[in-house]
Structure 1
Amino acid sequence: MTLPRVCQKELLQKLTELGIAYDKIEHPEVFTVEQALPHVAHLEGIFAKNLFLKDKKKQFYLFCAPHDCDVKLNDLSKLVKASGGLRFADESVLFEKLGLTQGSVTVFGLLNDTEHSVKLVLDDRFTNNTYTKIYFHPMVNTSSIGITPQGLMTFLKSTGHEPLKINLME
């Protein structure tokens, strides 16, 4: 059975319904943070790095942090108490769970995780007003949208995903 998937248009409608203001920037297709930065580095706020991961027991994690955050999977694994360490999950599972493809991983994919099988892990700087805006891909990697930390929390509440907040700076 194929589940209906939320696309960019439906995401933007959802943000509007929730009263979440956003800025949208169109750019060429990008597959990495490094490819995206020339198109978003001039914007107020921070561009998000998003990783779709799994542990040995096939628990899935969506990790979101500032793009310039140095992420060591071993350290992250200990912080989230992952069983047997963390590794990148296959693209087929990324599509199955979040309706996304490589290069377009985003917190907004949680709209497609109606079974709540993905644990969200957020760098706490995304929720403590360190940044005025956080930029994520809106289900595709040909644009980015910026929302406030308050908008992010409103969005997450609407999906039923309670983030595990971690501090990678310590």
Structure 2
Amino acid sequence: MADLRRSLEEFLERLDIDTTCTDHPEVFTVEEMMPHVAHLSGAATKNLFLKDKRKKGLWLLSARHDRRLDLGEVSRRLGLGGGNLRLADEAALLETLGVRQGCVTPLALFLESARAVTVVLDRDLTDGGHQRLYFHPMTNSATMGLKPDDLLRFLRETAHEPVLLSLD
């Protein structure tokens, strides 16, 4: 994972994207992560790697860490019909993003050359006035912060135009 993190950092440096990074013990849930990042100014995120059970599409959903998510409602808002989004299995996660469960992050999209993943961002992440947004940098033993505009630029540079969806 250290090599993947370094590759991400180099990619972000080439884009001239300023980041901050906090190392911490390995965590597997947002709840485990929060004591290590509560001092940071901005929005910690939770990230879900999903599949559409009908069309077999892949989705990466990012929302503020404390946001309650109803996947049925998200599915309906995306025009997929209710109840069609499910968590993708770890094999799909490894094959598509190169990370394992507990490390899901939109930052892994710099490795996803097939452009098979649709990114969905809670509109609050980009329009909520957050100083920084925090994601795992390819490993769940660190948390990386970047400005909302830089996240959008990163996604566009990797050819992943995000769907901005209000999850209120």
**Post-superposition shift, 1:111?**
1.1
**Post-superposition shift, 1:127?**
1.6
Counterpart for residue 67 of structure 1: 65
SS in 1 for 2:127: coil
Distance (Å, rounded) in 2 between the aligned partners of 1:92 and 1:68: 27
Q: Aligned runs of 1:118-137 on 2, under 5 Å?
A: 118-137=117-136
1:77 is aligned to 2:98: no
Unaligned runs of 5+ residues in structure 2 are none
Deviating runs (4+, > 2 A) in structure 1? none
Q: Aligned runs of 1:154-169 on 2, under 5 Å?
A: 154-169=153-168
Distance (Å, rounded) in 1 between the aligned partners of 2:98 and 2:42: 26
**Post-superposition shift, 1:130?**
2.2
Distance (Å, rounded) in 2 between the aligned partners of 1:37 and 1:30: 10
How many residues align? The count is 164
| Contact preservation (8 Å) 2:152, 2:162 | no
Distance (Å, rounded) in 2 between the aligned partners of 1:167 and 1:138: 25
1:32 is aligned to 2:32: no
Q: Could you say what the CA RMSD is over the residues aligned between the two structures, in angstroms?
A: 1.2
| Contact preservation (8 Å) 1:129, 1:149 | no
Identity over the aligned pairs, expressed in percent? 43
Distance (Å, rounded) in 2 between the aligned partners of 1:163 and 1:157: 8
**Post-superposition shift, 1:60?**
0.6
Counterpart for residue 140 of structure 1: 139
**Post-superposition shift, 1:129?**
4.7
The Cα offsets for residues 31-76 of structure 1, whole Å up to 9 and x where unpaired, read as 0100000000111001111000011121110000000010011111
TM-score between both structures, scaled by the size of structure 2: 0.94
